[in-house]
Structure 1
Amino acid sequence: MRAFAFVLLTFLAVLPVTAADPDPDPPNLMHASSWGERGDVSSYLVSEKLDGVRGHWTGERLLTRGGHAVDPPEWFTAGWPSTPMDGELWLGRGRFAAVSGIVRTREPVDAEWREVRFMVFDLPAHEGPFEVRARRIRTLLDGAAVRWLQPVRQFPVANADALDQRLERIVDAGGEGLMLHRRDAHYRAGRSDTLLKYKTSADAEARVVAHTPGRGRYRGMLGALVVERPDGLRFRLGTGFSDAQRADPPPVGSRVTYRYNGFTVNGVPRFARFLRLRPRRRDSPKD
């Protein structure tokens, strides 16, 4: 018996140890900064900021911005160009949670993917300025003739007043905001000052550290989330929840996205309200 145990331990000792799969390397993408009256609006092409999941087509496969593989049905990417493309996996305005769930599902549901579009807004490998890249996107996708592979519409805006009017119309219609891309800008990976987002409010992430009980019609449900920013500041999110979310709130330890309008004199986000539960760290879907 002792001899058998010795042989068994020796055998186990020489077995290879398989390490957990490391996180993938994210693709080298360009990321937007915030618009802050950065010069002549007419120097930019403007598009709607789509509230979907950012995707990167390498020319062979589809990845999230974090580098994780997206697993659509095979037909979804059939006939796509071999050119690398940046885009947004999108269902429509106000449907981020639904498209995020579809994209993060390992076993794709064919009927769900039939509703998804890949909205292309840039060509990372193209060496020309954005105005040329935008024209190339339209030509490329016209040639592909895939119904769910579409260009994001880019349009000129004459001045700051016209930009604000366009933003107001988009937000009133349920959109998230606008993107401004300098016409003469080349694609450069990393945070860019030539790709800008313009919204009526700002979004940020925080970690849930506690729940407070509801009162009145919310008795027995969530009253507010106590959340903590990366710098340690804690505050409450008491609005923005559906009744279903109050009955089954984001758990302690999860990360949520909240929306706010500026800061108080003490640095606390003003009018902070819950927006969504962040997916677990397989993906970071939003730009």
Structure 2
Amino acid sequence: MRYVPFLFCLFLGFSNLLYGSETHTKIQLASLYQGDEDISNYLVSEKFDGVRAIWDGSQLRTRGGHLIKAPDWFTQGLPDTWLDGELWAGYNNFAFVSAIARRHSPNNEHWRQVTYYVFDAPNSTEIFSERHERYSSLLIHIELSHIKPVKQLSFGSVDELNDYYHDVLKRGGEGVMLHAKNAKHEDGRTTNVLKYKPYLDDEAIVIKHLPGKGKYQGMMGSLLVRDEQGMEFKVGSGFSDEERASPPPIGSQITYRYQGYTKFGKPRFARFLRVRPKL
């Protein structure tokens, strides 16, 4: 295992050379790691369970394009270039960061617990390994302790990857990400970025509340949901009694975990994780 070296110099004309002035709100969405990929073709990093945040050169936005109202001091000094990353406040703190990102007025004390981990540059025309070196150099030189490039590693074998993956899980991480070294940025779902986790998760829209039976009589028994491919299926486990009494509203987006797919293409053992906040 070795760390990918950073370039320790600023690149003159970086933003004009690599980034256009047009609005760009689309981002890359990871596909699943299958286990048969050539690991030497990828750079690997920890997957942070935070809030996805895109710096558009002047302000932070969610992956849906909504403004994140961060304090001025948090973003002061960031380059006039597009960056993609994660707002993170430590392990098992997703709800805390999500609440911070949704506030209409920033709480300075809370924001001081947040780090913006940058892992890509959406408008760059370069391949990922070059993008990483360039934006890492920029972030290192602005010397903001709460803005950091995500450390990218290179492995020579699946065994090395798995050792790192298990180290991440032991310290409370949720998995790792693999970026194809020689791939250019590609909007939407792509196999150039892969996620490797102990379980799979995804999002779906609630379209109906299905009634409960037995001990759940008079409560929600399961949700009928629809994923981004248009597949409809039920999510019936993972709910507290409070959530069954007051289920996620129709039209809301939930995150669920699952274990592969059935022969009909539906998520197997779909289990509710949380309501995805409107960001």
On whether the aligned pair clears a TM of 0.5, the verdict is yes
Change beyond 3 A, Cα 1:148–1:242: farther
Mapping of residues 149-164 of structure 1, within 5 Å: 149-164=147-162
Does the CA-based 8 Å contact 1:208-1:255 persist in structure 2?
no
TM-score by length of 1: 0.77
Shift of 1:245: 4.0
The code of the aligned residue for 2:226 comes to R
What is the RMSD of the two structures over their aligned residues, measured on CA atoms?
2.7
Number of corresponding residues: 254
TM-score by length of 2: 0.79
Greater CA deviation, 127-136 or 45-54? 127-136
Shift of 1:189: 3.1
Equivalent residue number for residue 10 of structure 2: none
1:228 partnered with 2:191: no
Does the CA-based 8 Å contact 1:27-1:66 persist in structure 2?
yes
1:270 partnered with 2:279: no
The code of the aligned residue for 2:184 comes to H
Equivalent residue number for residue 117 of structure 1: 115
Equivalent residue number for residue 44 of structure 1: 42
The code of the aligned residue for 2:235 comes to R
1:88 partnered with 2:86: yes
SS at match of 1:277: strand
CA distance in 2, matches of 1:220, 1:112: 41
Change beyond 3 A, Cα 1:269–1:28: closer
Change beyond 3 A, Cα 1:123–1:253: closer
Does the CA-based 8 Å contact 1:237-1:272 persist in structure 2?
yes
Equivalent residue number for residue 206 of structure 2: 207
Mapping of residues 1-80 of structure 1, within 5 Å: 27-37=25-35, 39-80=37-78
CA distance in 1, matches of 2:261, 2:26: 32
1:144-169 Cα deviation digits (max 9, x unpaired): 11111011111112212322333233
The code of the aligned residue for 1:235 comes to K
SS at match of 2:67: coil
CA distance in 1, matches of 2:95, 2:33: 26
The code of the aligned residue for 1:109 comes to N
The code of the aligned residue for 2:234 comes to F
Equivalent residue number for residue 189 of structure 1: 187
Equivalent residue number for residue 105 of structure 1: 103
CA distance in 2, matches of 1:139, 1:132: 11
The code of the aligned residue for 1:226 comes to L
SS at match of 1:89: strand
Shift of 1:32: 2.2
Does the CA-based 8 Å contact 1:202-1:260 persist in structure 2?
yes
1:89-139 Cα deviation digits (max 9, x unpaired): 112222222212211111222221111111011123444332222222332
Q: Unaligned 5+ residue runs, structure 1?
A: 1-24
Equivalent residue number for residue 256 of structure 1: 254
Equivalent residue number for residue 237 of structure 2: 238
Give the counterpart of 2:146 among 145, 148, 157.
148
CA distance in 1, matches of 2:265, 2:124: 42
SS at match of 2:61: strand
State, as a whole percentage, how many aligned pairs show the same letter.
Answer: 40
Change beyond 3 A, Cα 1:123–1:242: same
SS at match of 1:99: helix
Does the CA-based 8 Å contact 1:47-1:155 persist in structure 2?
yes
Does the CA-based 8 Å contact 2:119-2:150 persist in structure 1?
yes
CA distance in 2, matches of 1:28, 1:235: 29
Greater CA deviation, 99-108 or 261-270? 261-270
| Higher CA-based Rg | 1
Q: Unaligned 5+ residue runs, structure 2?
A: 1-22
Equivalent residue number for residue 137 of structure 1: 135
